[in-house]
Amino acid sequence: MRDFSHNSDEREDIKELIAQFENLRKGGSAPYIDEESFERIIEYFETEENFIKARMAVDMAIEQYPYSGTLLVKKADLLLTQRNYEGAMALLDHASILDSNNIDIYILRTEAFLAMDRQEEAVELLEQALEMFSGDEKIDLLFELADVYDDYENFEKVFDCLKAILEQEATNEEALYKICFWTDFTGRNAESIELHLKIINENPYSDLAWFNLGAAYQGIKLYEKAIDAYKYAIAIDEKFDYAYRNIGDAYIRLRKYRDAIENLEKVLELSKPEDVIYEAIGYCYEKLNNFAQARFYYKKASHLSPDNSYMFYKVAYTYYREDKFEQCVKQLETALKMKRNKPEYNLLMGECKKQLGFTREGIQYLMNVVRLRPKSVIGWEALVKSLYEAENYEQMVEQIELSERIMGAKPVLKYYKIAAYFALGKVKEALLQLEDVLAQSSTHLKKLLQLNPSLLQYQQVADLIVKYKKKKRGK
């Protein structure tokens, strides 16, 4: 559709044509208006969203040029906007007799079929049309078919259409942009790799093809290969911010946090700041145990997304790692005001309160954790460990037995239960339980001994541990 707003000559021409049309419409004498000029008048009214005048113009044009397939298609398009699908289809049938090679006939018929929820007929029509057209027109039809499949959630077929486009026109930017998303969505990374290697072989300077190749490698966790591909994309276009972004993500997966930071900072240089980029940089610094820098970037992320409670939690965690428990509590209070029932927030608050000496309050937060996420071992472990430290051994046993009813007996919690039995003086029961759990798994034995190192002074405990270590070696 033409843009009548910029070129002054174009504006003057259309102004004169509209005047001629208005004069003719009112019954006055007017110069002859040719078919192309009528098309421009119709397009002008469509651009102005004056569909009544557009309909008047197209009816007048068809009266003057009754054998014009193009004008019939224009009218059918207008009828579609008015939801007159049957009328539009009748006009398109007539137009196809006059001009069967007009691709717009097939595209508008497709729109009508879809509007009438006749998807199978739309697909059949487009597939027939693909046999009739070639070059740019065939590519337009493939895009149209991809949209139909997308609307009806046949996503594998969307990928097939985009692949077919690129097999015909390897540098089609729209298809290159779209296939990257659909590769990730459908998981067809191996096909995408094969396709883009062929494209690159013929078009080695296609930055989008290199990027898509990197994304496909990343999709199957070949991060080193992905990074190499992204670097080629950047060599072609040094301002390709999404390539830097994906390199940063790949380096994070490889735990090369300094390299990730370098590339993510480049994203900040090239594009508008985003909270997810600040958060990712903060995460890298956190992994490097540079908690002050991590906090700096988490706060930047929080400023861009002040309603995101998770950023307050992340800032709190950096304070916790530095033993700055009061600052940690302040951040968590803000996070909990926003999302009171987040297990992670309650867990960290419980641990923090304990560190500050508010054991009872800390236990209450940990009780919230197991209430909110009753099948998470982490919450139960934190709770029963805190009860042990508070010397609430009876309650500790009760909570472990409650956990067993909810999610079955877990070896780690069995070890905590043994610690409680020893603390309660139930030595015989503790030894029986210890023998039973050692037969299952000795993985969490160290947690029992961390709670009460003096247990090794019990000869029977030491003997049991030695016995099962020997058995394990024997296997």
Q: Structural domain tally of the chain?
A: 1
How confident is residue 311, by pLDDT bands cut at 50, 70 and 90?
very high
How confident is residue 9, by pLDDT bands cut at 50, 70 and 90?
low
- Residue 375 to residues 173, 261, 395, 407, 412: CA-CA distances in angstroms? 48, 36, 19, 6, 14
Determine the average pLDDT of the residues in 112-130. 81
Determine the average pLDDT of the residues in 399-413. 94
Determine the average pLDDT of the residues in 199-208. 96
How confident is residue 61, by pLDDT bands cut at 50, 70 and 90?
confident
First to last CA, the chain: 78
- Domain membership of residue 259 (yes or no) is yes
Of the chain, the percentage scoring pLDDT greater than 90 comes to: 64
Decide: residue 162, CB within 10 A, 0-12 exposed, 13-18 middle, 19+ buried.
Answer: buried
> What integer pLDDT is reported at residue 30 of this predicted model?
57
- Domain membership of residue 94 (yes or no) is no
> What integer pLDDT is reported at residue 8 of this predicted model?
56
Lowest mean pLDDT across 18-22, 150-154, 171-175, 245-249: 18-22
Q: Which domain holds residue 197?
A: 191-268
**Whether pLDDT at 474 is above 60:** no
Listed residue (355, 393, 349, 391) closest to 367, CA to CA = 349
Q: Which token pair is 141? A: 């039809």
> What integer pLDDT is reported at residue 441 of this predicted model?
83
**Whether pLDDT at 137 is above 70:** yes
**Whether pLDDT at 98 is above 60:** yes
Q: Which token pair is 119? A: 């998807």
Q: What is the DSSP letter of 68?
A: -
pLDDT for 232-285, tens place per residue?
A: 999 999 999 999 999 999 999 999 999 999 999 999 999 999 999 999 999 999
Determine the average pLDDT of the residues in 43-49. 71
**Which one is predicted more confidently, 409 or 112?**
409
- Domain membership of residue 235 (yes or no) is yes
How confident is residue 475, by pLDDT bands cut at 50, 70 and 90?
low
**Whether pLDDT at 63 is above 70:** no
Of the chain, the percentage scoring pLDDT greater than 70 comes to: 92
Mean pLDDT over each residue of the chain, to the nearest integer:
89
Would you say 113 and 132 are in contact if contact means Cβ atoms under 8 Å apart?
no
Sign of the alpha-carbon dihedral angle for 172, 174, 180, 186: negative
**Whether pLDDT at 27 is above 70:** no
Q: What distance in Å separates the CA atoms of residue 393 and residue 419, rounded to the nearest whole number?
A: 9
Lowest mean pLDDT across 150-154, 192-196, 199-203: 150-154
Determine the average pLDDT of the residues in 447-471. 87
pLDDT for 81-97, tens place per residue?
A: 778 777 777 777 777 67
Determine the average pLDDT of the residues in 388-409. 95
Determine the average pLDDT of the residues in 366-376. 96
**Which one is predicted more confidently, 374 or 134?**
374
Determine the average pLDDT of the residues in 321-333. 97
Sign of the alpha-carbon dihedral angle for 332, 337, 338, 340: positive
Q: Does the pTM of the predicted model rise above 0.85?
A: no
> What integer pLDDT is reported at residue 376 of this predicted model?
93
pLDDT for 419-448, tens place per residue?
A: 999 999 999 999 999 999 998 888 889 999
Residue 243: give its domain's CATH number.
1.25.40.10
Q: What distance in Å separates the CA atoms of residue 291 and residue 247, rounded to the nearest whole number?
A: 23
Q: What is the DSSP letter of 455?
A: G
Would you say 85 and 111 are in contact if contact means Cβ atoms under 8 Å apart?
no
How confident is residue 4, by pLDDT bands cut at 50, 70 and 90?
very low
- Domain membership of residue 459 (yes or no) is no
- Domain membership of residue 253 (yes or no) is yes
> What integer pLDDT is reported at residue 59 of this predicted model?
73
Decide: residue 243, CB within 10 A, 0-12 exposed, 13-18 middle, 19+ buried.
Answer: buried
- Domain membership of residue 357 (yes or no) is no
pLDDT for 142-165, tens place per residue?
A: 998 999 899 888 999 999 999 999
Q: What distance in Å separates the CA atoms of residue 259 and residue 288, rounded to the nearest whole number?
A: 12
**Whether pLDDT at 122 is above 50:** yes
Please report, as a single letter, which amino acid is at residue 202: E
pLDDT for 208-218, tens place per residue?
A: 999 999 999 99
> What integer pLDDT is reported at residue 21 of this predicted model?
72
